[in-house]
Amino acid sequence: MTRPSRADGFELSDLIVDYDPDTLERRDVTLDTVLGRLPAPAAARRVARTLASGTGVLDRARVDAVLVRAHLELQRLHEEFRVGALMRDLVAPMIDVARCRAGGRRVRVVDLGCGMGFVVRWLAARGHLGPDVELIGADCNRALVTAAQRLAEEERLDCRFVAGNAFALREPADVIISIGVLHHFRGAELAAVFAQHERSPAAGFVHVDIRPSPIAPIGSWMFHRARMREPLARFDGVRSVVRAHRADTVCRAAASGAPGFTLALLDARPGVAGLLRIFQATLGVRGVGGDAMRQAYAGFGRRLELA
Amino acid sequence: MTVLALASLALFDVLLSGTRAAAGRDGRIAKPPYYRAAAWRSLAAGVLVVSANAALVAALRASAPDPDGAWSDLLSAGVRCVKVFGAFATLTLIAILFWFAPVRELRIVPTLVVLGPLTLLRPLVIVGGLLFAVVGSSNWRVWLAGLAAGVSMIGIEHVLGRGYVDRWRRLV
pLDDT, averaged per 10 consecutive residues of chain A (307 residues), comes to 54 90 87 84 85 92 95 93 95 94 91 97 96 96 95 97 93 96 94 97 96 88 88 92 94 96 94 85 93 93 92
Q: Does A1 touch chain B (CB under 8 A)?
A: no
Give Rg (Cα) of chain A: 19
Asked if B171's CB is within 8 angstroms of A150's CB, the reply is: yes
Length reported for chain B: 172
Q: What is the pTM of this model?
A: 0.90
Per residue in B9-25, pLDDT tens? Answer: 999 999 999 999 999 99
Question: What local confidence, expressed as pLDDT, does residue A182 receive?
Answer: 96
A81 to B171: CB separation less than 8 angstroms, yes or no: no
pLDDT, average across residues B72-79? 95
Are B107 and A82 inside 8 Å of each other by CB?
Answer: yes
Q: What confidence score (pLDDT) does residue A1 get?
A: 37
- Measure Cα distances from A210 to A112, A207, A238, A256 in Å: 16, 10, 11, 22
Sign of CA dihedral A140, A143, A144, A147: positive
Q: Quote the crossing angle between the two packed helices B2-22 and B140-161, to the nearest 10°.
A: 30
Element of type H or E holding B10: helix B2-22
Report, as an integer, the average pLDDT of B59-68: 95
The answer to whether the Cβ–Cβ distance between B112 and A72 falls below 8 Å is no
- Min Cα distance B83 → chain A (Å) is 24
Tell me the residues of chain A between 22 and 81 that have a Cβ less than 8 Å away from chain B.
61, 64-65, 68-69, 71-73, 75-77, 80-81
Tell me what pLDDT residue A8 has: 61
Q: Percent of chain B scored above 90 by pLDDT? A: 80
A158 touches B at CB < 8 Å: no
Interface membership of B36 toward A (CB under 8 Å): no
Q: Pick the more confident residue, B81 or A20.
A: B81
Beta-carbon separation of B24 and A76 below 8 A: yes
pLDDT value at B42 more than 70: yes
Start-to-end CA distance of chain B, whole Å, equals 51
pLDDT for the residue A7: 53
- Radius of gyration of chain B, Cα coordinates, nearest whole angstrom: 18
Find which of A87, A221, A223 to mutate to test the B interface (most B CBs within 10 Å of its CB).
Answer: A223
Give the whole-number percent of chain B exceeding pLDDT 70: 100
